A and B are shown apart, each in its own frame.
Chain A
Amino acid sequence: MVPLFVIIPLAAAFLIPLVAKVRQDSARWIANTGAWLLLCFSIASFWWVKNTAIVYSVGGWKPPFGICMVLDSFSALMLLVINLVGCIVLLYSLDYIKKYTSPHLYYTLFSLLLAGLNGLAISGDLFNLYVFLEISSIASYALIAFGTEAEELEASFKYLVLGSVADVLILFGIGVLYGRVSTLNMADLARSLQGISLADPVLYATALFLVGFGLKTALVPFHAWLPDAHPAAPAPMSAMLSGVVIKVVGAYALTRVIFNVIGITPLVSTVLIVLGVISMAAGVLLAIGQWDFKRLLAYHSISQIGYVIFGIGLGTPLGVAGGLFHLFNHSLFKSLLFLNSGAVEYATGTRDLRKVAGLSRSMPVTSATSLIASLSIAGIPPLCGFWSKLIIIIAAFQANHIAGAVVCILTALVTLASFLKVQQYAFLRVVDNVSREAREAPLFMRAAMIGLALLCIATGLFFWPFMESVIKPAARVILDGVRYAGMVLGG
C-alpha cells in the first residue's frame, strides 16, 4: 500500500498532459480524483500503522541494501497534512485557476508537487529523500512563476537561488555522512552512527543539514526568499506553499534527520530553540507593518514555523507534541487565510488592505471564514491555534525556558494585533464607494474555505482525542530518536 502515495499523484501528473490534448476540461477532474484518493489512503494509513512502522522494500531489495519506504506514525501525520490541504486546495483551484491560461499545466505541476511531498514523507533512504525534495522543489519553482508576470518571475528566481543553495548543502551533508559510515539507509545510518556520536565529520554534516533545511523552512536568518515567493504564487499555491511545503520539506525533513538519524544533542537542541525563538519574534514584527494581504500572511508563516521548531527543539514529550500539533493547526488556518486572500483578490483585483473595505457585507462567507482563521492563528480559546500554543508555552515553562515562553506569549499578542488590523481594514471598516461591486467567490472556492474553517473549529473542540490518537504517536517516533533504526530494521 505504501508506494501508492507516490504512484497516484505521479500517474496523475503523467496522465493530465496526455488527456488534456484531447479534452482540456478533464485535467482538473483527474487531479481532484487523485487528491481525494490520496486523502482516503492517508486517513486509512492511521489504521495500518498503529505505532509500528510499515516497511516497503523497493524492487524487493531488503532495507540495508535497497531503497525502502517507511510509513510510521510521524509519516502518517505528515501524509494527512499534505493530502488534506492538497485536496481542499485543488477543490478551490477548480474555480480560481480558470483566470490563467493553460490550467492543465497547473494541475500537472500540482500533482508532481504532491508526488514529491508524499515521497519525501515516506522515504526511508537519505538520497531518496533528496530526490523527492528536488521533485517538490522544482514543481514549486515553476508554480511560483506560473503567472509569468515580472514580480512572479523575480520571486521565483530568488527562491530558485536560495532553494538550490539549500539543496546543494543537503546533498553535501549526505555525502559527508556517506563518507563516514558508507550507508544511505536512514535506519542503518542511525544504527551505524550510534557508536561514534558526533565525531567531526558528523558534526559538519549536522551543520550542513541545519543550514540546508533551515533555508527550506525559512527560519529567520535564512528567510529572505519566503515573503517574496509565497505571495507571488497563485493563491491556492500560496496556501500549499505556506501550509504544507515549508513544513514537509523543511520542518519534517529536519526533524527526521536530526532526531531519528543523527540523534539529538544538547548543542543541536539549543540551536533549534534559538532559531525558533528568533523566527517567532522577527517574523511577527516584520508582519505587522505590511499592507499587502499575502505578504503579511507570508511573514506570519515565518513566525508560526518558529513555534513549531521551538516546540520540537525543546525535546520534551510535551514540547514535541505541541510543536507537531501546531504544525497541523498552522497548515489548516494558514491555508485558509491564503485562500481568503485569494478570494479577496479574485473579487476586488487587489491585495492592498488600504484599497479594500467593508467586504463583510458583500462577501459574507469569505469574511466569516477569515474571522475564524484569524482567531485561530491569534490563539483565541475554543479554536485550534490556542491549544497548540498553550501546550508549547507550558512545555517551555516545564523545560525552564522562561525567555522562550515569554516570547511565545508576546508573539501571540502581536499576532492578534496584526490580524485585528486585517479584519478591520478588509472586512469590517465601512467606507463609501470602495469595493461595493465586490461579489462573493464562486461555489468551489466557498466550499473549500468553509471546509477548512469547519476543520479549524473541529480540531479546536476535539483537540484532546485528536492529540491522543494522532499527535502523540507521531511525537513518540521523534522522541524514540535513533531507536527508529530498530523499528525499521527489526531487532
Chain B
Amino acid sequence: MSLYALCSILFSIGLYCLLVKKNLVKKIIGLGIAEYAVNLFFILLGYRQNGEAPIVDTYAAAGQYFVDPLPQALILTSIVIGLGVTAVMVAISVRIYEKYRTFDINEIRRLKG
C-alpha cells in the first residue's frame, strides 16, 4: 500500500509542477517528474524481496523466486516514449521563445482558452 501512496505523492508533485508553474522549462521538468513517478511505480511492482535475475533455468529449479521482468521491458519502452514527448515539448518551447522572447506563460497569452 505504501508503494501506491508514495508513488502517488511523487506523481502529484510532478503534476503540480506541470500544471501550476508559469515557466515553460519548469513545466517540462514537471512532466519529467510525473513520468519518473509512474516508471518507478512499474519497476517497484515487479520487485521481489531477495529476488534474483529472471533467468528461469538456474533458479526455478532451486525454488528461489525472481523479480518480474515484464515491467522492466515496459519501462524501457515508456522511457523512450517520454524522451519523444520531451523532445517535442522542448522543440516547441524553443520556437515559442523565438516568437515571444520569453518562457513566462503569463506573457504568452494570445489564445483565450
**Which A residues are closer than 8 A to B by beta carbons?**
127, 131, 134, 137-138, 141-142, 145, 148-151, 153-158, 160-161, 164-165, 167-168, 171-172, 175-176, 178-179, 182, 184, 201, 204, 224, 227-228
Interface size on B, residues (CB 8 A): 38
Structural contact, A179 and B45, CB atoms closer than 8 A: yes
B11 CB, nearest partner CB in chain A, Å: 7
**Which B residues are closer than 8 A to A by beta carbons?**
3-4, 11, 14-15, 18-19, 24, 27, 31, 34-35, 38, 41-42, 45, 68, 70-71, 74, 77-78, 81, 84-85, 88-89, 92-93, 95-96, 99-100, 108, 110-113
Contact partners of A179 in chain B: CB under 8 A: 3-4, 45
Alpha-carbon distance A184/B14, docked complex (angstroms) = 26
Structural contact, A175 and B96, CB atoms closer than 8 A: no
Known contacts A145-B95, A175-B38; A154 and B111 CB within 8 A of each other? yes
A111 CB, nearest partner CB in chain B, Å: 17
Structural contact, A153 and B99, CB atoms closer than 8 A: yes
Known contacts A138-B85, A150-B110, A165-B18; A175 and B42 CB within 8 A of each other? yes
Query: Contacting B11 at CB < 8 Å: which of A127, A160, A172, A178?
Result: A172
Alpha-carbon distance A161/B15, docked complex (angstroms) = 10
Structural contact, B78 and A160, CB atoms closer than 8 A: no
Q: Closest B residue to A232 by CB, please name it.
A: B111
- A-B CB contact pairs (8 Å), 27 listed: A131-B81, A134-B85, A138-B88, A145-B95, A150-B96, A153-B99, A154-B110, A155-B111, A156-B92, A157-B89, A157-B92, A157-B96, A160-B85, A161-B18, A161-B19, A164-B89, A165-B15, A165-B19, A168-B11, A171-B38, A171-B78, A172-B41, A175-B38, A182-B68, A201-B4, A224-B113, A227-B113
Known contacts A138-B88, A157-B93; can you find 16 more A-B pairs with CB under 8 A? A134-B85, A150-B100, A151-B111, A153-B99, A154-B96, A157-B89, A160-B85, A160-B89, A161-B18, A161-B27, A168-B15, A172-B38, A175-B38, A182-B68, A224-B113, A227-B113
Structural contact, A178 and B38, CB atoms closer than 8 A: no
Alpha-carbon distance A145/B99, docked complex (angstroms) = 13
Structural contact, A134 and B45, CB atoms closer than 8 A: no
A352 CB, nearest partner CB in chain B, Å: 14
Q: Closest B residue to A141 by CB, please name it.
A: B88
Contact partners of A127 in chain B: CB under 8 A: 74, 77
Alpha-carbon distance A292/B30, docked complex (angstroms) = 33
Alpha-carbon distance A85/B1, docked complex (angstroms) = 46
B81 CB, nearest partner CB in chain A, Å: 5
B95 CB, nearest partner CB in chain A, Å: 5
B12 CB, nearest partner CB in chain A, Å: 11
Alpha-carbon distance A137/B112, docked complex (angstroms) = 23
Structural contact, B18 and A151, CB atoms closer than 8 A: no
B25 CB, nearest partner CB in chain A, Å: 12
Contact partners of A165 in chain B: CB under 8 A: 15, 18-19, 34
Q: Closest B residue to A139 by CB, please name it.
A: B88
